[in-house]
Amino acid sequence: MDFDTGRNEHAFSQTLGVITSLALAVLLAKLGVMTVSPGIGTYGGIGLMFAAIVFGVPLFVVTLGITIHLANKSAIPPLLAAVMWLPILASLAVIPVSEFFSKRESAAYASTHPGVKEIHVNLTGRDLRLHPLIGSHPLMEAKARANFLSFDREPVSNRGDKMAACRGVLLAPDFKSMPVIYGPSENGVATSVPVVLAPTPPGWAPFLPELGTRMAKQLVHYYFHYPDHIEVASAIDWAHGDIPQYDNGKPASGIYIHNLTSETIVRLEVNGETVPFYVGVAPLRADHCTVEHQPSLGRPRYSALNV
């Protein structure tokens, strides 16, 4: 390859500079693509670093040295400089450009698959563990029904999680079963248990358009594990976030529970809506159930409820 500089004695250096620069650009582009590829792993990352040091550094030093040599000899016209360095600069843009589009794609995915909070309650009468595919979670002992298992499910960070069967933040209608493991930790046989979805409460109608956005942070999915099935009921915890208001300007209501029974409460519904709490409500011998309300604070109104 010969670039007309008026003196052909630099043709070899010019050609060698183009070859090394293009080789460096190809190497950097390939390393960039491999770096942003999913599942690269620790060993893969080490391999990329090794290739960058062993092959990339010498190519860069040679290309830079030839560029300086040609510049000192006034034998590097603008076209030749562009041919040598523009591909290298373009290859360096592979990672930031890829990350830019990856973030945009993740944001778009998150808008329709937001993270949701799950609460699992063991009512089977047997020790229970969730399947390892769902994640590493502790054993739910049969004798500790009041100890709920709580965790956040992030579909964006684990798209291979088949248990994240949601339509927006609500459970998908085709979510029909889930695997669980009964018995102590030495037993590892998974059992597929039927799933029943509780209907969406009619009172949610004013908020459903917002459930895919900020309301997602206030939604909680309760998995009640019974001996022969799992019932999934969703609840909105108004305490976690801004208090929404109906069209008439009145805030949504909440429930404050005084358990006046002799048994621990692990599930409670009011007007068909699951009441959110995160551990079994132990018996509470209170003298009264009055809760003061201060309208000036703009807080939701709490109604006393004897159970």
Q: Dihedral (C-alpha) 267, 272, 278, 284: value to the nearest 10 degrees? A: -60
Residue bearing tokens 């250096």: 13
Closest CA to 151 of 220, 212, 230, 225: 220
Taking the model in full, what pTM does it have? 0.60
Chain centroid offset of residue 217 CA = 13
DSSP-assigned states of every residue in 111-169: HHS--EEEEEEE-SSS-EEE-GGG-----B-TT-TT--EEEEE-TTT-TT-TT--EETT
The predicted structure's pLDDT at residue 193: 92
What residues of the chain score a pLDDT lower than 50?
2, 5-6, 245-250, 291, 293, 296-307
Alpha carbons within 13 angstroms on the beta-carbon side of residue 100 total: 5
DSSP state of 52: I
Distances from the Cα of 163 to the Cα of 65, 124, 152, 176, 304, angstroms: 56, 20, 12, 10, 37
Burial class (CB in 10 A: 0-12, 13-18, 19+), 104: exposed
The three-class DSSP label of residue 255 is: strand
The predicted structure's pLDDT at residue 303: 44
The predicted structure's pLDDT at residue 163: 58
Instruction: Decide if 148 contacts 222 (C-beta within 8 A).
Output: no
Terminal CA-CA length for the chain: 89
Domains of the chain by residue range: 8-107, 113-306
The predicted structure's pLDDT at residue 229: 94
Distances from the Cα of 291 to the Cα of 254, 264, 275, 295, angstroms: 12, 21, 17, 13
Helices (H), the chain: 11-36, 41-51, 57-72, 78-92, 94-112
Instruction: Decide if 180 contacts 194 (C-beta within 8 A).
Output: no
Instruction: Decide if 128 contacts 224 (C-beta within 8 A).
Output: no
